[in-house]
Structure 1
Amino acid sequence: MTIRRRFLLASSLARLIRRERGGLRHVEGFFLEQRDRFAWVRLEEERGLLILQTDGPDSEAEDEIEIPVGHAHALLEVCAGEVDYTRTALPIGESHALVDEIIRPRVLHRVSVEFEAKTDAEAFRPLEWFGPEVTGDPRYTNQAIALRGLDEAAEIPLSDAALNSLIDTLDGRSPAQARVAISRPKAKQVPVTRARAQSGGETVKVNLDEIEEAMMREMEKTLQKSRSE
């Protein structure tokens, strides 16, 4: 289970982070929700992922499988909405802050931190360069931005305190309280350009039940393989 806290970020700070640390280009396409779950496809560099998320009372359970890049392109063509962004994983203590520069469908800068336990999420004190928290505002999730758009986003002012705090973070001087268990980056942080999918004019129908069944089969194969080794 994953618990996320999300914060807005001053655009100048986001650009500084990307310039200093690079980033990994993501394109995410979302299918329409069904009950308390939804699925999306993510293209990052030369890697495609199909992800199924089930919402719980306090957190989100996500299952993902890697798919061929060509399949990811084809699925993106039939998604209900997309988000295009560059992500930078910035170390804070023993964990990472995930800094997103959303390019499309509208420009937005955001930083998020992921936790495995609710107590860790509640104990986390945002760094001074973080902007206002929007964890409880569903408008700022990638899914909502892709499917419903975002009418407006507050412009976050830059302060000397925020800039000094970010410089400390870039220099590895984050507060000890930032030592929380979150997901580590899985790929080298370099930009990627999305190529257009070649669907040949065919209509692709998407069903979340079929996606879930396919993901369960793939995970079962992986588990059986690991047991046999």
Structure 2
Amino acid sequence: MSTTRVFLLASALARLIERERGGHLVRQGFFPDRTDRSAHVQVSGETAHLILIAHHVAGPREEPAEISQAQAEALLELTAGQAEYLSIPMAIGSHGATIQRFVTPAPLDLISITFKQDKTARKFQPPAWFGPEVTSEAAYQVRSLALTGLPSVPAVEVTNEALHGLLDALDNRVGEPQLHPAEVSRVSETSEAALDPETDQELDGLNIEDRVIRELARSLQPQGR
């Protein structure tokens, strides 16, 4: 049985992942829960589903039914709460992960990583670029976000270690030796020098590490500069 763990993600890092990997928009509308079942509408690209979830002793059983876009739009208007987010698939080693960049009900970035076995999930050590784990906090489930709104979210710090860990993941170099501290210092100096907003046109000609470092430097600038 698969197991999923969920972590907060710094918005600057999530933005960089979106820039490199793209993603697709997902809209979900939730009807109020009932004792024995729950239901929600999901629109992803040109595909729409009405998803019924029956609550059994052995666990919830999901029953999706494909519906038309028109039907989905009509049902969304009747839901008690909605969530909208950009879904970005990504591999973390041999595991599949999904970044969720929420637009509605409020900005929030999460990363969910799925494991085929519960034992593997328990042994997993999150990399430095992951934020705090929120797997067991119901307030961060999509249904709860849609129906009750955003909880109080702690700030997620972006460090050199986190940035280089993300760069390794984007370059599929997870598990390789990290840069020497002197090399990290040189990279930091490079990022501090690349704060000119006009550099967007230069990004396409750079390798992935240079592009990500420059974009991170820009995203961390104070507003109004």
TM-score (norm 1): 0.70
**How far apart are 1:9 and its partner, in Å?**
0.3
Q: Residue 225 of structure 1 aligns with which residue?
A: none
Gaps of 5+ in 1: 177-229
Contact 1:37 1:52 in 2 (8 A): yes
Matches within 5 A, 1:1-229: 2-35=2-35, 37-54=37-54, 60-175=60-175
Q: Residue 184 of structure 1 aligns with which residue?
A: none
1:16 and 1:149 map into 2 onto residues whose CA distance is: 25
**How far apart are 1:23 and its partner, in Å?**
0.8
Contact 1:29 1:146 in 2 (8 A): yes
**How far apart are 1:151 and its partner, in Å?**
3.9
Q: 58-67 vs 17-26, which deviates more?
A: 58-67
Q: Given residue 129 of structure 2, which amino acid in structure 1 is its aligned partner?
A: W
**How far apart are 1:34 and its partner, in Å?**
1.0
Q: Given residue 110 of structure 2, which amino acid in structure 1 is its aligned partner?
A: R
State how many pairs are aligned: 176
SS at match of 1:131: coil
**How far apart are 1:17 and its partner, in Å?**
0.3
**How far apart are 1:119 and its partner, in Å?**
2.3
Contact 1:2 1:61 in 2 (8 A): no
Q: Given residue 5 of structure 2, which amino acid in structure 1 is its aligned partner?
A: R
**How far apart are 1:38 and its partner, in Å?**
1.6
Gaps of 5+ in 2: 177-225
Contact 1:6 1:133 in 2 (8 A): yes
Q: Which structure's CA Rg is the greater one?
A: 2
The CA RMSD measured in Å over matched residues stands at: 2.2
SS at match of 1:74: helix
Contact 1:3 1:59 in 2 (8 A): no
Contact 2:89 2:98 in 1 (8 A): yes
SS at match of 1:64: strand
SS at match of 1:43: strand
Contact 1:7 1:134 in 2 (8 A): yes
Q: 149-158 vs 99-108, which deviates more?
A: 149-158
SS at match of 1:157: coil
2:125 and 2:30 map into 1 onto residues whose CA distance is: 31
Q: Deviations over 1:192-214 (max 9, x none)?
A: xxxxxxxxxxxxxxxxxxxxxxx
TM-score (norm 2): 0.71
1:7 and 1:38 map into 2 onto residues whose CA distance is: 25
% of aligned pairs identical? 39
Q: Which of structures 1 and 2 has the larger relative contact order (alpha carbons within 8 angstroms, sep 6+)?
A: 1
